[in-house]
């Protein structure tokens, strides 16, 4: 397809660099510097999509980020397909594959377009009114139907192949926008030497100056001024210029978020990221974000070929594209006249239809007529002619009394509409600044700033070029702490407009569809209906009609919607208020927000020094907090059950080795260390001798168990505290809190040493013989080194803190060695134990072995509402201590009352039945529902050493129920169990002292 609508010269495209892409399978050519929108228009393509609700044909309406309709799926290759790209902001790049959306089977013939015929049914609140009854339809019929019909593009179904970066930056002044105002502000701010960042969402800096035709600044053509200014800024080392960078969020304390599109426009990114998320902390923010043109509201104003007037001008001047050969500009203001003059100069046949009276027009009128443009003043627009492309505009004169004169159809293939201008106050509002309504400008302007911020230029309702430059310069200087000013001479701007909410018409307003929100298919009729049905708050009207709730956040539609609501309620517009502007300003990719935090970096995994050995020996792993722990070590052909059974037997009959490195470890050091431990744990610590261990139980202040672990007193002033794997950080925080805030007088230091030590548990009757050949400097004999002792010495030559402790009930050691020695010592122990059949075991076997002994696991037998007495550990509490954290609460009424759930063992009648953990316990399965729940199963395993299934449970007054029968829920109904002692194996505890 040739570029029939490309002008022979002009524009900022590079005609020496043709670029081809496909649209719905057809190959289309444009030039470097085009957007998808300008390249499509250069080839005469206006109709590029179907609308959201009515599936009406839609075309390109805008040249910028406010585009509501021209949403395309754009693919840059596998894993690089995004839906809902605005054609006006996607830079052309060789090989792009683009498709229209929201139609089936094709853009030209769309079955969904039948919705348009039924539009009287699809009024505001259609969903709320229709999908109410019958209730049984909610899940099965309505929801699938709504979900299938909703949404625009198709979400990608493969992982994003691109890389995204992020960057934190600081600057003294952040300038948002590189139009005339922003560039002047950047010039002034950077002159002071302060650090300045300047960001603009477009590919090329310059804003409105990039499509200037006649405008000059200080006697130079505007484009020339942009070039020189950019060269000056670029040469300053204190300036960072960021084109293609959208400032999308303005948060607290001048924390501003922006996305830089780094490589979407290049064919070979050479490894550079696709986008970069900038998080900038700015001393002062200058918002020079410009303004947005309002469409006019009349029947069928959504026809492809209908563009914003200024966008016609942009396509002509900046891209060298004539959007149509016969163009009608429908306007209620002056700016469209400049667009008309430029289009006329480019060779189009141009007519202007202006709602304003001849007397209300300014110098623009004479200018247009002098250029040979026919101008119809005091004319309204009744509607458009055409289907998939506008063919004519129906206009009619409006008499002074408001009567509509005879209609007349102006043949055309393009319409430029302009209903005036709205300052871009999104970022100002996000910064929590207060808006103030300006009646003369018919706009909400930035009022009181909430942060160190200045909004200036068109964003502040100033549409005159020279004034924008002067004000921008002064604002930039002031933001940088300077009082400098500069004078700029510039061509006067054609400005001023007459606000109009809906164009006067002689048609029945109930019959026509005049679109307000093009993306969500909301018409003036819908908004009027909402008001008639009683909605008065704009926030409610917005949600009921969905106006302004599409991905464009109502950039084009908000003022028109507000105006109609105010008109219907007969209230002044400011009393209706505005809806809330929320980030992001434009749609932002998930990739940019996620950045590098994906895959392995999404949720970091902690591994122990012995992890690789376990991997090499076939371990299956389970996640425990951030750790990956070896779960069990299956041999060939073994399932989990068989592997765990083998491991359990091996520990009790010979020796097993277990990686306990994930245990939390805290060193508590200082002259007051023992006193501090005394206050933090229920146990007594003052008299514990160095070289001895004690099982420590920690409560929260409310008296419930928080954590537990073995603690060794290494020296008079030094404790080696262990915690549960998941509780390490929590316990350290808890200790720090009390130390810093309640007892700052205690001289104690707390250090996390979890990662410093690898811990190897060697457990079983052969444990001592296994490690004996490796240990030096420590007498391992039972007399010299009894259960719950700790010795410092060496193993395999490496320093060790050797604990004689056991979580299995067997003779056992927990060998702490510096982490770097962990694997070597583990391998030496494994080698040494071979003659005893040493068996590596994982967390599952650890769980079974401790359950056989009735040892609790915090978080399994306890749930934050369990006291020491509930789990039979009241004996750990040092009765003589005056105080410790949680002591007072143990005397609370509810904690001493009868009926508390207590730890017991359960034997199912069927010894092969393994109860479900979490299953409820009841006394009588035949009682009426709701039944009285006595408690629940906390741990349940098949125990090879006991020779049957075992379970731990917490049951109301459980200790008084020993020997009785209760019932437990199973997937197949209730099963009978008997209540037994929770210690199932070696009840006398003799093996541990071997």
Partner 1 sequence: MLLIDCPCCGLRPETEFRCGGQAHVARPEKPVDVGDQDWSEYLFVRANPRGVHAERWIHQHGCGRWFNALRDTVSDRFVETYPMGGKPKSTTTEARA
Q: H/E/C letters for each residue in 352-371?
A: EEECCCHHHCCCHHHHHHHC
Structural tokens at position 393: 């505009």
What residues does 306 pair with on adjacent strands?
415
Q: Considering the rule CB under 8 A, would residue 898 count as an interface residue with partner 1? A: no
Residue 251 or 695 with smaller CB distance to partner 1: 251
Phi, psi for residue 926 in degrees, rounded to 5: -100, 5
Given candidates 667, 702, 863, 917, which one binds partner 1 under the rule CB under 8 A?
Answer: 702
* Residue among 486 and 594 whose Cβ is closer to partner 1: 594
Kindly state the smallest distance separating residue 276's Cβ from partner 1, in Å: 18
Cβ 252 to partner 1 shortest distance, Å = 5
DSSP 304: T
Query: Of 464 and 702, which CB lies nearer to partner 1 in the complex structure?
Result: 702
Can you tell me the distance from the alpha carbon of 535 to that of 528, in angstroms, rounded to the nearest whole number?
10
Is residue 448 near partner 1 by the rule CB under 8 A?
Answer: no
Residue 30 or 684 having the CB closest to partner 1 = 684
CA distance 581 to 579: 6
Least distance (Å) from partner 1 to the CB of residue 169? 13
> Does residue 880 interact with partner 1 by CB under 8 A?
no
Q: How far is the CB of 743 from partner 1 (least distance, A)?
A: 9
Does 755 contact partner 1 by CB under 8 A? no
DSSP codes of every residue in 153-215? S----S-----EEEEEEEEEEEEE--SHHHHHHHHHHHHTT--EEEE-SSSSTTGGGGG-SS-
Query: Coil, helix or strand for 890?
Result: helix
Query: Which of 736, 777, 827, 981: binder of partner 1 (CB under 8 A)?
Result: 736
Binding mask 259-298 for partner 1 (x = CB under 8 A): --------------------x-x-----------------
Comparison of 382 and 732: residue with beta carbon closer to partner 1: 732
Question: Do residues 241 and 233 lie in contact, with contact meaning Cβ atoms separated by under 8 Å?
Answer: yes
Binding segment (CB under 8 A) for partner 1, from list 208-216, 570-578, 739-747, 902-910? 739-747
Q: Which is nearer to partner 1, 636 or 891 (CB)?
A: 891
Q: What is the DSSP letter of 40?
A: H
783 binds partner 1 (CB under 8 A): no
Q: How far is the CB of 459 from partner 1 (least distance, A)?
A: 24
Among residues 17, 635, 892, 932, the one that binds partner 1 under rule CB under 8 A: 892
Cβ-Cβ contacts under 8 Å for 156 (sequence gap 6 or more)? 79, 81, 82, 83
From candidates 369, 617, 888, 976, binder to partner 1 by CB under 8 A: 888
CA-derived radius of gyration, the chain: 38
Q: How far is the CB of 740 from partner 1 (least distance, A)?
A: 5
Q: Which of residues 207-266 bind partner 1 (CB under 8 A)?
A: 251-253, 255
Is residue 917 within 8 A of residue 938, CB to CB? The reply is yes
Among 377, 498, 889, 920, binds partner 1 (CB under 8 A): 889
Q: Which is nearer to partner 1, 407 or 881 (CB)?
A: 881
- Span near partner 1 by CB under 8 A; candidates 176-184, 462-470, 545-553, 879-887: 879-887
The one among 893, 898, 912, 926 contacting partner 1 by CB under 8 A = 893
Q: Which of 575, 741, 898, 926 binds partner 1 (CB under 8 A)?
A: 741
Which helix or strand (DSSP H or E) is residue 336 part of? helix 335-345
Output the smallest distance, CB 160 to partner 1, in A: 25
Question: What does the alpha-carbon distance between residue 417 and residue 529 come to, in Å, rounded to a whole number?
Answer: 25
Closer residue to partner 1, CB minimum distance, 490 or 739: 739
Q: Which is nearer to partner 1, 250 or 544 (CB)?
A: 250
The reply to whether 737 sits near partner 1 by the rule CB under 8 A is: yes
Which residue number, 155 or 882, has a Cβ lying nearer to partner 1? 882
Is residue 730 at the binding interface for partner 1, with CB under 8 A as the rule?
no
- Would you state the structure tokens that stand for residue 161, as one six-digit string? 């192949």
> Which of 8, 744, 875, 971 contacts partner 1 by CB under 8 A?
744
What gap in Å lies between CA 803 and CA 786, rounded to an integer? 10
Q: CA-to-CA distance for 248 and 587, rounded, in angstroms?
A: 8
Mapped onto helix, strand or coil, the DSSP state of residue 337 is: helix
- Mark 291-330 with x for binding to partner 1 (rule: CB under 8 A) and - for no binding: ----------------------------------------
What DSSP string runs through 583-627?
S-SS---HHHHHTT-SGGGTS--B--TTHHHHHHTT-EEEEETTE
d(CA 958, CA 241): 72
**What is the three-class DSSP state of 525?**
helix
742 binds partner 1 (CB under 8 A): yes
Q: In the complex, what is the shortest distance from the CB of residue 285 to partner 1, in angstroms, rounded to a whole number?
A: 14
Q: How far is the CB of 628 from partner 1 (least distance, A)?
A: 24
Q: CB 972: neighbour CB atoms within 10 A?
A: 7
Residue 742 burial class via C-beta count within 10 angstroms: exposed 0-12, middle 13-18, buried 19 and up? exposed
621-629 contact pairs (CB < 8 A, 24+): 622/843, 622/844, 624/662, 624/725, 624/726, 624/843, 625/725, 625/726, 627/662, 627/725, 629/659, 629/662, 629/725, 629/842, 629/843
The two tokens of residue 340 are 């008309």
Which of these segments, 157-165, 636-644, 731-739, 788-796, binds partner 1 (CB under 8 A)? 731-739
Q: How far is the CB of 260 from partner 1 (least distance, A)?
A: 19
- Is 581:430 a contact under the CB 8 Å cutoff? yes
Binding of residue 887 to partner 1 (CB under 8 A): yes
The contact pattern for partner 1, residues 835-874, with x = CB under 8 A and - = no contact, is ----------------------------------------
The verdict on 831 binding partner 1 (CB under 8 A) reads: no
Residues in the chain, overall count: 994
Among 539, 701, 831, 924, indicate the residue that binds partner 1 (CB under 8 A).
701
Pair 418, 336: CB distance under 8 Å? yes
Between residue 660 and residue 689, which ones bind partner 1 under the rule CB under 8 A? none
Based on CB atoms, which residue is closest to partner 1, 638 or 702?
702
Min CB(428)–partner 1 separation in Å: 17
- Contacts with partner 1 in 327-356 (CB under 8 A)? none
CA distances from 766 to 33, 529, 759 (A): 78, 85, 18
Neighbouring-strand partners of residue 697: 708
**Taking a C-beta distance cutoff of 8 angstroms, is the pair 605, 622 a contact?**
no
State the minimum distance, in angstroms, from the CB of residue 871 to partner 1. Answer: 21
Report how many helices (DSSP H) and strands (DSSP E) the chain contains, helices first.
25, 50
Size of residue set near partner 1 by CB under 8 A: 23
Among 882, 898, 899, 928, binds partner 1 (CB under 8 A): 882
CA dihedral 869→870→873→879, nearest 10 degrees, is: -10
Between residues 243 and 283, which has the closer beta carbon with respect to partner 1?
283
Q: Please select the residue that binds partner 1; options are 106, 485, 580, 740, rule is CB under 8 A.
A: 740
| Full DSSP string of 740-764 | III-TTS--EEEE-TTTEEEEEEES
**CA gap 826, 613 in Å, rounded:** 9
Vertex 497 angle, CA 303 and 495, to 5°: 110
User: Does the CA dihedral 737-743-745-749 come out positive or negative?
Assistant: negative
Using CB under 8 A as the criterion, which residues of the chain lie in contact with partner 1 when the complex forms?
251-253, 255, 279, 281, 701-702, 733, 736-737, 740-742, 744, 882-883, 887-889, 891-893
């Amino acid at each position: 397809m040739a570029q029939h609508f490309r002008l022979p010269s002009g524009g900022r495209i590079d005609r020496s660099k043709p670029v081809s892409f496909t649209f719905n399978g057809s190959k289309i050519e444009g030039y470097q510097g085009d957007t998808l929108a300008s390249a499509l228009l250069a080839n005469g393509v206006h109709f590029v999509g179907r609308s959201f609700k009515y599936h009406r044909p839609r075309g390109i309406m805008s040249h910028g980020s406010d585009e509501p309709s021209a949403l395309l799926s754009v693919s840059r290759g596998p894993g690089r397909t995004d839906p809902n790209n605005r054609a006006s902001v996607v830079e052309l790049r060789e090989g792009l594959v683009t498709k229209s959306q929201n139609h089936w089977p094709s853009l030209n013939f769309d079955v969904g377009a039948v919705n348009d015929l039924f539009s009287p049914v699809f009024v505001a609140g259609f969903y709320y009114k229709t999908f109410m009854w019958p209730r049984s339809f909610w899940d099965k019929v309505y929801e699938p139907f709504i979900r299938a019909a909703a949404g625009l593009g198709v979400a990608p179904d493969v992982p994003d192949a691109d890389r995204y970066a992020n960057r934190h930056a600081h600057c003294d002044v952040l300038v948002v926008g590189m139009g005339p105002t922003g560039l002047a502000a950047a010039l002034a701010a950077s002159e002071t030497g302060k650090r300045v960042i300047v960001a603009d969402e477009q590919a090329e800096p310059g804003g409105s100056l990039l499509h200037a035709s006649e405008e000059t600044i200080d006697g130079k053509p505007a484009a020339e001024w942009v070039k020189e200014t950019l060269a000056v800024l670029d040469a300053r080392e204190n300036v960072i210029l960021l084109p293609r960078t959208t400032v999308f969020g303005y948060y607290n304390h001048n924390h501003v978020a922006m996305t830089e599109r780094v490589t979407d426009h290049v064919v070979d990114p050479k490894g550079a990221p696709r986008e970069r998320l900038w998080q900038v902390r700015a001393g002062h923010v200058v918002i020079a974000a410009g303004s947005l043109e309002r469409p006019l509201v009349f029947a069928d104003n959504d026809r492809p070929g209908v563009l914003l007037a200024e966008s016609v001008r942009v396509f002509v001047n900046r891209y060298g594209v004539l959007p149509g050969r016969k163009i009608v500009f429908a306007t209620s203001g002056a700016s469209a006249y400049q667009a008309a003059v430029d289009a006329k100069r480019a060779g189009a046949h141009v007519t202007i239809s202006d709602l304003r009276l001849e007397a209300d027009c300014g110098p623009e009128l004479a200018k247009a007529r002098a250029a040979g443009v026919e101008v119809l003043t005091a004319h309204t627009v009744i509607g458009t002619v055409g289907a998939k492309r506008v063919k004519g505009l129906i206009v009619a004169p409006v008499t002074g009394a408001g009567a509509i004169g005879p209609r007349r159809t102006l043949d055309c293939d393009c319409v430029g509409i302009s209903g005036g201008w709205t300052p871009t106050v999104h970022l100002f509002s996000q910064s929590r600044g207060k808006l103030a309504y300006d009646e003369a400008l018919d706009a909400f302007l930035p009022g009181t700033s909430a942060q160190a911020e200045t909004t200036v230029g068109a964003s502040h309702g100033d549409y005159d070029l020279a004034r924008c430059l002067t004000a921008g310069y002064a604002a930039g200087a002031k933001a940088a702490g300077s009082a400098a000013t500069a004078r700029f001479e510039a061509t006067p701007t054609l400005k001023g407009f007459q606000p109009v909410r809906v164009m006067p018409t002689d048609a029945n307003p109930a019959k026509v569809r005049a679109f307000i929100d093009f993306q969500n298919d909301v018409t003036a009729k819908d908004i009027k209906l909402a008001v008639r049905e009683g909605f008065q708050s704009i926030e409610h009207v917005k949600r009921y009609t969905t106006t302004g709730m599409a991905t464009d956040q109502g950039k084009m539609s908000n003022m028109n919607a507000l105006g109609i609501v105010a008109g219907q309620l007969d209230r002044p517009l400011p009393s209706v208020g505005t809806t809330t502007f929320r980030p992001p300003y434009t749609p932002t990719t998930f990739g940019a927000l996620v950045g590098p935090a994906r895959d392995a970096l999404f949720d970091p995994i902690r591994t122990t020094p012995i992890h690789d050995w376990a991997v090499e020996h076939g371990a299956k792993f389970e996640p425990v907090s951030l750790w990956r722990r070896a779960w069990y070590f299956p041999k060939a052909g073994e399932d989990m059950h068989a592997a765990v059974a083998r491991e359990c037997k091996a520990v009790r009959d010979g020796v097993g080795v277990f990686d306990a490195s994930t245990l939390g470890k805290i060193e508590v050091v200082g002259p007051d260390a023992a006193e501090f431990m005394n206050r933090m744990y229920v146990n007594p610590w003052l008299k514990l001798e160095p070289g001895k261990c004690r099982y420590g139980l920690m409560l929260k202040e409310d008296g419930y168990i928080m954590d537990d672990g073995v603690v060794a007193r290494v020296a008079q002033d030094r404790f080696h505290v262990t915690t549960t794997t998941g509780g390490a950080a929590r316990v350290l925080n808890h200790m720090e809190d009390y130390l810093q805030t309640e007892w700052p007088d205690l001289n104690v230091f707390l250090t996390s040493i979890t990662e410093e030590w690898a811990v190897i548990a060697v457990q079983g009757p052969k444990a001592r013989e296994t490690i004996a050949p490796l240990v030096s400097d420590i007498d391992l004999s039972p007399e010299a080194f009894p259960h719950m002792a700790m010795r410092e010495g060496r193993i395999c030559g490496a320093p060790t803190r050797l604990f004689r402790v056991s979580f299995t009930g067997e003779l056992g050691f927990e060998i702490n060695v510096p982490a770097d020695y962990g694997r070597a010592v583990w391998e030496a122990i494994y080698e040494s134990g071979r003659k005893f059949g040493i068996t590596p075991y994982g967390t599952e076997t650890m769980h079974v072995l401790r359950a056989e002994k009735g040892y609790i696991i915090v978080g399994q037998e306890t749930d934050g509402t369990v006291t020491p007495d509930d789990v039979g550990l009241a004996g750990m509490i040092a009765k003589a201590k005056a105080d410790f954290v949680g002591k007072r609460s143990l005397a609370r009424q509810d904690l001493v009352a009868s009926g508390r759930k207590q730890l017991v063992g359960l034997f199912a009648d069927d010894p092969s039945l393994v109860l479900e953990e979490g299953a409820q316990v009841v006394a009588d399965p035949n009682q009426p529902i709701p039944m009285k729940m006595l408690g629940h199963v906390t741990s349940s395993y098949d125990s090879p050493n006991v020779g049957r299934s075992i379970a731990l449970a917490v049951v109301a007054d459980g200790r008084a129920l020993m020997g009785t029968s209760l019932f437990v829920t199973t997937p197949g109904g209730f099963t009978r169990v008997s209540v037994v002692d929770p210690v199932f194996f070696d009840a006398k505890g003799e093996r541990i002292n071997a």
